[in-house]
Amino acid sequence: MDFIIGFNRDQLIMMGFESCLGIDSWARKIAYFRKENTKVFKMAFRHFVRLLKDWDLIEGETIAIDSFKIRAQNALKNNFNQKKIDRHIDYIDNKILEYQSQPDTGDTDLDIQGIQNKIVCQKTKKEKYRNIINVGYNVQAGCDAKHKLFVNNDTGTVNDTHALSPMALDAKELLGVESMRTLTDKGYTTAKHLEICTKNGITPYSSPKVHSSQRNGLYPMVDFKYDRTKDTYTCPDGQILATNGTVYDKAGQKVKHYKNRQACKVCLVRHLFTVRPIVP
């Protein structure tokens, strides 16, 4: 039985199964089978979710959406942990110190430009190690509230900011419901996707994002009161901020500017509103 040393139980079972079918053993056979049948696996999962809906195990009224990471497998030389990264950075720092100390030896035959090029090369390598991230996949998943069963998922590079409406619309179509609610954390709070959900019969409940002004001592946006009838804002100092109605494009978002130049010029608490200087 020495031939089985080094294999776990699942591997032995798979090897026996392949042997019965006359299939040559191949360590990566299962991995390639999954890769080549991705669409079929997804269709089977979605069919199973519909069965759970028919059996009333999935309600489809409230779906919680969140993301998590799963580890990927890759070559050991491309896989870095913090200890390995620190070791590489220490090596590079020592090489840079070695190159920098060479001009101080008094050797006139040194190629100063060549040394500088080597230092730049080492600093470039160091920056590469600083930007290394964990090897894995980001998985978006929707979970039904009734029995906490998974409804749908998406694996890829899509981050939380752009995942709300695609995940919610996919779950709504899959479950065949007219309306539903979604629960998400602040990472999914994006005006564009909240609007898409609302227009398609989905009521999103998403935690509000912390505005940057709350971290720098300025008044937060919630302290500015909006008057829908007059289309004006009242600032915390009691001044009315009006708009000329022009809509501007700011990083792909449609925005309007509200201001009161005369009041802002003489405002005694202007430093609590903005860090920008007064424009003459």
Mean pLDDT of the 49-74 span: 87
pLDDT above 50 (res 2): no
Mean pLDDT of the 116-124 span: 77
Render pLDDT for 182-197 as a digit per residue (tens, 0 to 9).
Answer: 999 988 988 889 999 9
| Residue 143 φ/ψ, nearest 5 degrees | -130, 130
Q: Is the dihedral of CA 215, 216, 218, 224 positive or negative?
A: negative
Share of the chain above pLDDT 70, in %: 73
Calculate the average pLDDT of the chain: 79
Q: Which of 208 and 236 is assigned the larger pLDDT?
A: 236
Query: How far is residue 17's CA from residue 13's CA, in Å, rounded to a whole number?
Result: 6
Q: Give the pLDDT of residue 65.
A: 94
Q: Which amino acid is at 235?
A: C
Q: Give the pLDDT of residue 1.
A: 41
Band of residue 232 on the pLDDT scale cut at 50, 70, 90 = very high
Which is nearest to 143 in space by CA: 134, 131, 153? 153
Considering only 27-31, 140-144, 234-238, which range has the smallest mean pLDDT? 27-31
Which is nearest to 142 in space by CA: 73, 40, 52? 52
Render pLDDT for 253-274 as a digit per residue (tens, 0 to 9).
Answer: 778 889 898 888 888 888 888 8
Q: Where are the beta strands (DSSP E) in the chain?
A: 62-71, 136-144, 150-156, 180-184, 202-206, 225-227, 232-234, 240-241, 247-250, 253-256
pLDDT above 50 (res 167): yes
Q: Which of 236 and 214 is assigned the larger pLDDT?
A: 236
pLDDT above 80 (res 244): yes
Query: How far is residue 155's CA from residue 149's CA, in Å, rounded to a whole number?
Result: 18
